[in-house]
Amino acid sequence: MDLVEWSAKKMGELDYDIHPLGSPVQIMEEYDYAQLVDMIVAAKKNLPPERPLHLFGAGHPMMLAIAVALGCDLFDSAAYALFAKDDRYMTATRTLKLEDLTELPCRCPVCTGTGLEALAGTPKREREAMLARHNLYVTMEEMMAVKQAIREGTLWEHLEAKCRSHPKLYDAFKRLAAHSSFLEAHDPLVGRRTKGIFLYDRLSLSRPEVLRHKTRIIERYQRPPGRDVALLLPNPPERPFNKSPLSERIMEGLKGAGNVHLCFYGAPFGIVPSELAETYPLSQYESSVDGGTDLVEAIEKFIAVNAYRKAVVLMNGPRIKVKNAIISDTVEEACSEVLSDASTA
């Protein structure tokens, strides 16, 4: 990787319009996609960002999404033809030998115009040409799907689905977590996304939107002036959190206390102040991620950086010690603790 970085720096100093990342073919033939992730990031970090990056040898549909997400702009590959020479049939997530097929699971013109038996019985040269066309159709279908995902702002969801189609791609997806800061720094703050984000497991938490919120809530956020008593509630199932039945019950119990700052905690975003609960994507998501082990640390950091005079944490499970905070088991107990130090608005 040090040689990739050195080469990218040197090439970036020269007057080129485009840069290729060479020599990944053997790595991809061995399905070492995790190392490919490191190579692409090493190059991107050291090349001028305005110049497109061409990835040599990238031709299988299943890995195009992760390459695009890492910043590759152009691709070339003879895989569609080389696979056809060996009677190999591409799908969006794997490659099959023609002899192992019982159906043609594709609706491209080649597959719809030819049955499996007819294709298998076609003379070698003609069959090779037909398989090559099919493989190209599948590859271009994936390219169109990637472009659509970019326009929708759903590229991360698309690559998550692809990376779960093969263990080696899943290794590459796990490797993304090591480069999450780099990805977040170059992810646009404002885009065309019109849909909520999907979070499947703890690996999904490495996506830029989640990392950005967790970082900025500690480094950039300041609590509202005068609200120096924090009340932290576990995320209710309803969204936005500040309009949930739990939030309404708490607000009624606080009886207009003006110096109480209501916040929520839990997966996937960690700490969500009530006044930010409706901002994207803090209420526009679907998640199956559990609480995780870093929540206590997140709560402690949030309390410390905002210098609350008092902090009360409502727990909906086993009591866990939180530094500089009082733990309450019930809504009534939490409200009582807060009101003992509260002022009227």
pTM: 0.88
Return d(Cα 327, Cα 218) in angstroms, integer. 21
Task: Pick out the chain residues at pLDDT < 50.
Answer: 345
137, amino acid identity: Y
Quick one: DSSP state of residue 274?
A: G
Predicted local confidence at residue 112, as pLDDT: 92
52, amino acid identity: P
Return d(Cα 182, Cα 35) in angstroms, integer. 16
Residues in the chain: 345
Quick one: DSSP state of residue 224?
A: P
Q: Which domains does the chain have, with CATH numbers?
A: 2-184 (3.20.20.105), 206-339 (3.40.50.10630)
Predicted local confidence at residue 189, as pLDDT: 79
Q: Which two structure tokens, joined as six digits, stand for 276? A: 């930010």
**Measuring CA to CA, how many Å separate 209 from each of 65, 171, 326?**
18, 21, 30
**Measuring CA to CA, how many Å separate 249 from each of 85, 87, 242?**
68, 66, 11
Predicted local confidence at residue 14, as pLDDT: 97
Predicted local confidence at residue 15, as pLDDT: 95
Predicted local confidence at residue 313, as pLDDT: 96
